[in-house]
Amino acid sequence: MTGYLIRGAAVLGGDPTDLLLRDGVVAEVGTGLDAAGAEVVDAAGLVALPGLVDLHTHLREPGREDAETVETGTRAAALGGFTAVHAMANTEPVADTAGVVEQVWRLGREAGYCDVYPVGAVTVGLAGERLAELGAMADSAARVRVFSDDGCCVSDAVLMRRALEYVKAFDGVVAQHAQEPRLTEGAQMNEGELSGRLGLTGWPAVAEEAIIARDCLLAAHVGSRLHVCHVSTAGSVEIVRDAKRKGWNVTAEACPHHLLLTDDLAATYDPIYKVNPPLRSGVDVEALRAGLADGTIDVVATDHAPHPHEDKDCEWAAAAFGMLGLETALSIVQETMVDPGLLDWAGVAERMSYAPARIGRVADHGRPIEVGNPANVLLYDPAVRRVVEPSESASLSRNTPYRGMELPGRVVATFLRGHATVLDGKLQ
């Protein structure tokens, strides 16, 4: 057998066509293709999309292999239709040296389920005090282009300015976790009427918006690229929209959970809903959807954050922040954006593949399904509905907030450079 002949796939939701994936690339596109020796995949009714690229994944290795490893995390990614993920730097040890990023990169290559692009820490140990060796990470085998202290905010204005300037030397981008630390000391959930009633310390929107506004101004001042992680508030969307209108080089991402879930879930005190930034109000959810639809928000990124059971099976304040996201991301984007008519499949390809690859400067991903491009492709059935069952996840962790929820769509197949990582909805 050589390659895969995909029959009747709707590329970006268009008319059914055949795709021949051979030698790692899209070899032919057209109707009535015939390819001797290729394994035929019946894609009638399926949408073909370019392999998804996640700008924001926590793979936990090294250090927290009880929560996730590069292998299990990339298996989950493949099941979610991803062919590339950016692995965040808040591991133990922190990915703040060439050695650690190369280790993560190598683990990804060995796992083989999707390409792993390590994100380098902006500051040593995420401590926010001095720059990590950004150049060494950029020049390493891992070729790091995205730098982030995610989990912590680079709150020092001078340090942020220097980071934005410094990464220009290798066309890098600083991905900011926007959280003013003093305004969010001990913060547990969205600050609002509900946090007051529940007695949970509030995480006010202004703590995110103030940092984003400052960083947009800094990026404009020094002429650098800024990427804003997990935008969660209506005010943040407005600030990013304004920055783009001014022509500043600012991009932003939103997470699936912020597109679907709202802060009233905190009333259960079940920390499965505890995440940073927190679930916000319905008004914020609407603003994020609108921002994603009009391009203010460039990217859907998962912020896949696995945690072992005991870190969620406890009281809210003691629980870890974060939720799984890789295997449900596309379904949630269908539910919140495609089905309501806010985004078509071409828009999904842009927000979940092309744009994140562009921002991460990943050349071999985020390319249209056209002859000659790397065969990073996924097949998706938007017609089925499924109930999320945490035990079916390929992740080592089970902290999905969607347990028992019925979501549309299912990834049927994922191809990484023409090699099937997922077929018939199952890992290969």
Partner 1 sequence: MKRHLLSAADLGRDDAELVLQTAAELRELADRPIKKLPALRGRTVVNLFFEDSTRTRISFEAAAKRLSADVINFAAKGSSLSKGESLKDTALTLEAMGADAVVVRHGASGAPHRLAHSGWVRSSVVNAGDGTHEHPTQALLDAFTLYRHLGSTDGGRLRPGSLEGRRIAVVGDVLHSRVARSNALLLRTLGAEVTLVAPPTLLPVGVGTWPVETSYDLDAVLPKADAVMMLRVQRERMTGGFFPTPREYSRRYGLDGRRMATLQDHTIVMHPGPMVRGMEITADVADSDRSVIVEQVTNGVAVRMAVLYLLLGGSEPAVGGEE
Q: Shortest CA distance to 324 belongs to which of 386, 383, 261, 263?
A: 261
Torsion sign, CA atoms 133, 137, 139, 141 = positive
The distance of closest approach from Cβ of residue 232 to partner 1 in the complex, given in angstroms and rounded to an integer, is: 17
The distance of closest approach from Cβ of residue 87 to partner 1 in the complex, given in angstroms and rounded to an integer, is: 29
Nearer to partner 1, 186 or 341 (CB): 186
- Cα–Cα distance for residue pair 305/397, rounded to 1 Å: 9
Q: List own/partner pairs for 347-350 with CB under 8 A and 24 or more apart.
A: 347/293, 348/49, 349/12, 349/49, 349/50
Nearer to partner 1, 14 or 282 (CB): 282
User: If residue 204 lies in a helix (H) or strand (E), which one and from where to where?
Assistant: none
The distance of closest approach from Cβ of residue 352 to partner 1 in the complex, given in angstroms and rounded to an integer, is: 35
Nearer to partner 1, 51 or 192 (CB): 192
Q: Which residues pair with 379 in a beta bridge?
A: 48, 413
> Per residue in 266-291, is it b (16+ CB within 10 Å) or e — as a string?
beeeebbbbbbbbbbbeebbebbbeb
Q: Which residues pair with 426 in a beta bridge?
A: 423
User: If residue 27 lies in a helix (H) or strand (E), which one and from where to where?
Assistant: strand 25-30
Nearer to partner 1, 38 or 200 (CB): 200
The active-site residue, picked from 18, 303, 311, 381, is 303
- Cα–Cα distance for residue pair 423/428, rounded to 1 Å: 7
Give how far Cα 114 sits from Cα of 12, 13, 377, Å: 21, 24, 12
CB neighbours of 89 closer than 8 A, spacing ≥ 6?
95, 96, 101, 118, 119, 120, 121, 126, 147, 148, 149, 150
Nearer to partner 1, 270 or 364 (CB): 270
Q: Can 156 be counted among the known catalytic residues?
A: no
Nearer to partner 1, 170 or 316 (CB): 316
Nearer to partner 1, 15 or 315 (CB): 315
The distance of closest approach from Cβ of residue 175 to partner 1 in the complex, given in angstroms and rounded to an integer, is: 29
DSSP string, 388-402: --GGG-SSS----TT
DSSP string, 322-371: -B--TTTHHHHHIIIIITTTS--HHHHHIIIIIHHHHHTT-TTSS--S-T
The distance of closest approach from Cβ of residue 201 to partner 1 in the complex, given in angstroms and rounded to an integer, is: 8
The distance of closest approach from Cβ of residue 207 to partner 1 in the complex, given in angstroms and rounded to an integer, is: 13
The distance of closest approach from Cβ of residue 159 to partner 1 in the complex, given in angstroms and rounded to an integer, is: 25
- Positions that interact with partner 1 (CB under 8 A): 188, 191-202, 204, 268-270, 310, 313-318
The distance of closest approach from Cβ of residue 277 to partner 1 in the complex, given in angstroms and rounded to an integer, is: 16
First to last CA, the chain: 16
Q: Other C-beta atoms within 10 Å of 29: how many? A: 19
> Per residue in 397-414, is it b (16+ CB within 10 Å) or e — as a string?
bbbbbbeebebbbbbbbb
Nearer to partner 1, 318 or 387 (CB): 318
Name the residues annotated as catalytic: 303
